[in-house]
Copies of this chain bind each other. A is one copy, B any other.
Amino acid sequence: MNKQRLEAFSDGVYAIVITLLILDIRIPQVQPSVLGAALVGMLPQVFTYVLSFFVVGLYWFAHHRVSHQVKQIDGTFIWLNLIWLLFVSVMPFPAALLGRYPLQRIPIAIYGIDLILANVTGFLITVYLKHHPVLCINPISAKSLRSQVPVYAISNGVYVMAIGFAWIFPWLSYGLYAVVLVWLMVRYARINNPFQPDRKT
């Protein structure tokens, strides 16, 4: 029951973040005759919006896969979860920044850093659960934990590359963020029973 409340609260946060993203897509204030051009000029914002929408959706998915393994929670877990939610709740800021300053180094870097921080926190929560089997429905084996390392390592590695490319090929940074997103989405899409910890494709 405790767990369910934490999930309900977290689901609420995810639902709000994913919906708030649209508030940063402000309608242009121009003469109607140039509205079309103004809207075309917003395409970078639209790209960032759609990217961020699915990023938040992906974290929601990941959150459920973690919490599905949980039987009961303790105080530390609640704070770890809250830190995870912090890095997700923050997302509208880097998303708006990237939309407002397209192809700029700093916004690309901040966006990537937020993705990495959220990723790392998610992984730390799994590590914490591994070391506190009393909180889990089934203890998390070392093998199961190790099997998750490559995904985290690859996605974070690509994020770091994307941040680096911001200084030379900013378009490539966008592409790398999108590629990781699509890769993770396809991985998850192939899960038959998505809230089970063990993935069977």
- By a beta-carbon cutoff of 8 Å, the part of chain A in contact with chain B is 1-2, 5, 7-9, 11-23, 25, 27, 29, 32, 35-36, 39, 50, 53-54, 57, 60-61, 64, 72-76, 78-79, 82, 85-86, 89-90, 92-93, 96-97, 100-101, 104, 106-107, 110, 185, 188-195
Contacts and interface: CB of A to CB of B under 8 A. Distances in A.
Nearest to A49: B90
A5 B7 contact: yes
Copies in the complex: 4
A64 B15 contact: no
A25 B93 CA distance: 7
A53 B86 contact: yes
25 contacts: A2-B194, A5-B64, A8-B11, A11-B12, A12-B12, A13-B15, A13-B18, A16-B19, A17-B19, A21-B89, A22-B92, A22-B93, A25-B93, A27-B96, A35-B104, A53-B86, A53-B89, A57-B79, A74-B194, A75-B190, A75-B191, A75-B192, A78-B188, A78-B194, A79-B185
